[in-house]
């Protein structure tokens, strides 16, 4: 068991170091500074775990203190990486609210009694200079409080990550004709990683409280930690966030702080004349009804504004204040309206053919949008209309 557990930790360290070096090269294209920090933290933690489980390794208390101390930086690193994904730049630490640092400081302060018991022996208790029962109880109590702070801290950052996903999704509805977003996919993976890390830490604490010594489950925890770390790395690289700089500039100009947790900025010139509003609405109607720009699968607010020769800020305001509601709704209503017509007139065309024709990249996306705006799937709509026409009058 010890050999297998050691192998898991050694493999995990190798993975973290290797991909950290690869990501350093990729940082020129995408901001991954805090993800690199996360991988290095994990590499250090796995190294300390490896040192701690070996019976002949000295300074057991030092490795345990280091592991618990580093854990307070994991969730903040993943949250900062989520900000990097959303903002397309690495956030600075200085402007962050004070509570971010207070949680870390509180957790580290609770580890001071444990740190004071560090000795050069190969066991956790110092047999050469044993502490009293009262001191031992105090050390274990502060350790449990540190675990509690870690669990609370992780829950706080989970909430922050969920807020980023929600805000980014809302932004995309005003900026793009499709809700598919590699950034959101990556953010969801990070949330899974944080939840898994939280779950493993809570489970290990409960296990230690219930059973004390390792009864063979240490290798299970090591394997699970390795699997979670590998999943995060591979999935993040697989869902590398692609974006167009022009669309990112529009996002930053329309939303406060240029980030996913920022709300819609107040329009600098909210007083749009009725003449100007009517002109923009006519241009929008022409581009959608005559030019059929919605057939472009990657259509964005920026592309539409370039097509009609108007500013994104003005068009966004007029769309949001009109019956269209949001850019996504406006475009997809036109797509579904044409799809309805094609379903009834193009009998030889498959559902997928029609989906491609009106601007969708996949049948599943088309079905989801059709169900949202028509209340049923394309197949159900075609069958229902066919039954209505064939029914005797």
Tokens of 238: 């697989």
* 42, 177, 275, 330 from 296: Cα distances, Å: 43, 9, 29, 14
Summarised one tens digit per residue, pLDDT across range 179-195 is 777 778 888 887 887 88
* 13, 38, 91, 193, 285 from 18: Cα distances, Å: 8, 13, 25, 19, 53
> 265 and 232 share a domain?
no
What does DSSP assign to residue 290? T
Domain limit, last residue, from 247, 278, 311: 247
Give residue 350's domain range: 256-390
Summarised one tens digit per residue, pLDDT across range 273-309 is 889 999 999 999 999 999 999 999 999 999 999 999 9
> 70 and 97 share a domain?
yes
> 237 and 278 share a domain?
no
Residue ranges of the chain with pLDDT lower than 70?
A: 1, 26-29, 206-217, 237-246, 256-270, 389-393
> 262 and 232 share a domain?
no
> 20 and 130 share a domain?
yes
Phi, psi of 266 (to 5 degrees): -70, 135
Residue 348 has a CB neighbour count (10 Å cut-off) of 5
Phi, psi of 326 (to 5 degrees): -135, 160
> 174 and 308 share a domain?
no
How much is the pTM? Answer: 0.82
Residue with tokens 């059709």: 370
Domain limit, last residue, from 195, 226, 247: 247
> 212 and 279 share a domain?
no
3-state secondary structure of 268: coil
What pLDDT, on a 0 to 100 scale, did the predictor assign at position 157?
A: 92
Residue 60 has a CB neighbour count (10 Å cut-off) of 21
**33: domain CATH number?**
1.20.1070.10
Domain limit, last residue, from 247, 279, 297: 247
What pLDDT, on a 0 to 100 scale, did the predictor assign at position 213?
A: 55
What pLDDT, on a 0 to 100 scale, did the predictor assign at position 27?
A: 65
> 217 and 277 share a domain?
no
**370: domain CATH number?**
1.10.10.60
Q: What domain count does the chain have?
A: 2
Residue with tokens 């500013």: 311
Break the chain down into helix, strand, coil percent, rounded to 5. 75, 0, 25
> 228 and 261 share a domain?
no
Q: How far apart are CA 342 and CA 337, in angstroms?
A: 9
3-state secondary structure of 176: strand
- For the chain, the farthest-separated pair of C-alpha atoms sits apart, in whole angstroms, at 99
> 186 and 219 share a domain?
yes
> 35 and 142 share a domain?
yes
> 182 and 304 share a domain?
no
């Amino acid at each position: 068991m010890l050999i297998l557990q050691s192998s898991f930790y050694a493999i995990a360290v190798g993975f973290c170091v290797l991909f950290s070096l690869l990501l350093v090269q990729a940082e020129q294209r995408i901001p991954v500074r805090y993800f690199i920090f996360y991988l290095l933290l994990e590499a250090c933690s796995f190294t300390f775990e490896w040192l701690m489980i070996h019976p002949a390794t000295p300074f057991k208390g030092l490795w345990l203190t280091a592991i618990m101390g580093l854990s307070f930086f994991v969730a903040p690193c993943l949250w900062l990486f989520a900000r990097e994904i959303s903002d397309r730049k690495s956030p600075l630490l200085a402007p962050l609210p004070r509570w971010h640092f207070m949680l870390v400081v509180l957790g580290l302060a609770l580890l001071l009694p444990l740190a004071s018991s560090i000795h050069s022996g190969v066991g956790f208790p110092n047999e050469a200079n044993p502490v009293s029962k009262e001191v031992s109880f105090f050390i274990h109590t502060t350790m449990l409080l540190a675990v509690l702070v870690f669990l609370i801290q992780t829950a706080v950052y989970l909430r922050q990550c969920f807020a980023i996903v929600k805000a980014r999704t809302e932004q995309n509805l005003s900026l793009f004709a499709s809700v598919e977003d590699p950034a959101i996919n990556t953010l969801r993976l990070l949330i899974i990683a944080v939840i898994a890390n939280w779950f493993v830490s809570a489970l290990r604490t409960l296990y230690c409280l219930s059973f004390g010594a390792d009864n063979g489950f240490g290798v299970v925890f090591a394997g699970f930690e390795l699997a979670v770390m590998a999943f995060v790395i591979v999935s993040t690289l697989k869902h590398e966030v692609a974006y167009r700089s022009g669309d990112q500039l529009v996002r930053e100009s329309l939303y406060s702080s240029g980030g996913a947790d920022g709300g819609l900025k107040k329009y600098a010139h909210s007083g749009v004349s009725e003449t100007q509003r009517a002109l923009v609405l006519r241009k929008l109607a022409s581009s959608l009804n005559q030019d059929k720009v919605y057939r472009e699968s990657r259509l964005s607010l920026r592309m539409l504004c370039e097509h009609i020769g108007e500013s994104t800020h003005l068009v966004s305001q007029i769309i949001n204040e009109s019956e269209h509601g949001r850019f996504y709704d406006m475009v997809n209503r036109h797509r579904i309206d044409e799809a309805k017509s094609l379903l009834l007139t193009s009998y030889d065309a498959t559902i997928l053919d029609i989906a491609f024709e009106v601007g969708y990249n996949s049948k599943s996306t088309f079905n989801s949008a059709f169900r949202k705006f028509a209340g049923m799937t394309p197949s159900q709509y075609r069958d229902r209309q066919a039954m209505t026409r064939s029914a005797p009058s």
